[in-house]
Amino acid sequence: MDVRSRNPVTGEVVYSTRAVTRGKLDSALMTAVDAWPAWAATPVAQRAQILNAFADLVDEHRDRLATSITAEVGKRSSDSAAEVEWTALSARWYAEHPPEEEELAGALICRVPLGVIAAVTPWNVPLVTPSWKWLPALMAGNAVVWKPSELATGIAVEAASLFEQAGLPPGLLQVLPGGADVARWLCADPRVAGVHFTGSTRAGRALNQLVAPRFARIALEMGGVNAAVVFADADLERAAEAIISSATALAGQKCTAVRRVLVHREVANGLTDELRRRMETLVVGAPGCDGTDVGPMVSGAARRSAEATLDAAVSRGASVLARAKRSQDATAEAYFPPRTSWRPAARRPVDHRRGLRPDPAPGGLRWAGRVVTSQHRRLRPVRCRLHHRSDDGRSGQTVAVGRRPGRQRSQRCSGARTTLRWPRPVG
């Protein structure tokens, strides 16, 4: 089987290779199993030095990496450059924040590596999202086998090459091209001590069923049904700006994108007017053009799926109020001008399995779970309901690299070893 990634605009094959066979995957896992104990025994300062060297190389090759991302998945050039910058910043952050010892109730808790970690990653954020899996895993002393999306294998190979140049010992970060079967093989293999997955809910559920019987660790970041909640006291201009910008980022192809907007009836008309006005000013065009607000979708199939979703919404009563403008050079099949659709649903029943969802037809709006109000006391209860009533594994979670989420990722890649600091009382 060949793995090919194509430029969404030109259709040109950007990267091509053979998918790994079961035999090659077995060999890669044997290499990882043999490599990680020496890496785990490597001083933390030396591991950090390699991560910092990788960050320097990412900075040095930033233009080439950004160009590769744009060519492979169709991201706007500015977005690709930002992703490369975030990757370098992330590497330096994890180099400065290794797994820490903790003292709790008189016990000393030390973090120890798990062994071999499998990273299964998506195409839409093909560099920084995978980095948030293999950076903390490597810093914790693990080996990583990485199954990137078939649509973004080229950038994965480039990133692994930079790590090799940074001095990472062989066998500690291996790219395994292939489809869903490769991910299934990894999740079912007892040599894989942990799995970190980002992708669709359906795929995540299937992989979890393979990991669960052997009680291995798994972290799932899956698609969300994210809502924007706009209260009557919100600044409607700012609310519309936040909704549109988040809805159209990466042409709406993100798990943190807006899927629906819940707005107080008193300001519904005003927000609709603002959304219409802003949507009509957007320009859909080539990802490398400075005037482009929305680039192409990843493929013609993705565009047809978006069209079908919009058609289904209209058939169930939604109205298309506005659409973005298509530039003259946006002629490829993958271009899809985003629309604003509207369907009043205030009296519809709420499906709690999907968070605060008044069961509207799926529309053109996609956006991350945000709350727009001038009274901050409203934020926590609404955020909690959005998070705890969602079964998708993503809504309400923080995705930026920072103190708390960064350390959580490090802990996913390490086990706890507890040592009591004094004898336990008897009797």
**Residues carrying an active site annotation:** 221, 255
227 contact partners, CB below 8 Å, separation of at least 6: 258, 259, 260, 261, 262, 355, 356, 357, 367, 369, 386, 395
Q: How buried is 109 (Cβ within 10 angstroms: 0-12 exposed, 13-18 middle, 19+ buried)? A: middle
CA atoms of 178 and 124, how far apart (whole Å):
17
**Are the C-beta atoms of 262 and 243 separated by less than 8 Å?**
no
Phi, psi torsion values for 287, nearest 5 degrees: -65, -20
**Are the C-beta atoms of 143 and 32 separated by less than 8 Å?**
yes
**Are the C-beta atoms of 295 and 74 separated by less than 8 Å?**
yes
The three-class DSSP label of residue 280 is helix
The three-class DSSP label of residue 183 is helix
Nearest Cα neighbor of 367 from 271, 232, 224 is: 224
Cα Rg, the chain, nearest whole Å:
23
**Residue carrying the six token digits 């403008």:** 325
CA atoms of 154 and 141, how far apart (whole Å):
26
CA atoms of 123 and 228, how far apart (whole Å):
25
Cβ neighbours around 307 below 10 Å, total? 11
**Residue carrying the six token digits 């809805």:** 247
CA atoms of 152 and 134, how far apart (whole Å):
16
DSSP state of 341: E
CA atoms within 13 A on the CB side of 292: 26
Q: The tokens of 73 are what?
A: 């998945």
Q: What is the largest CA-CA distance in the chain?
A: 82
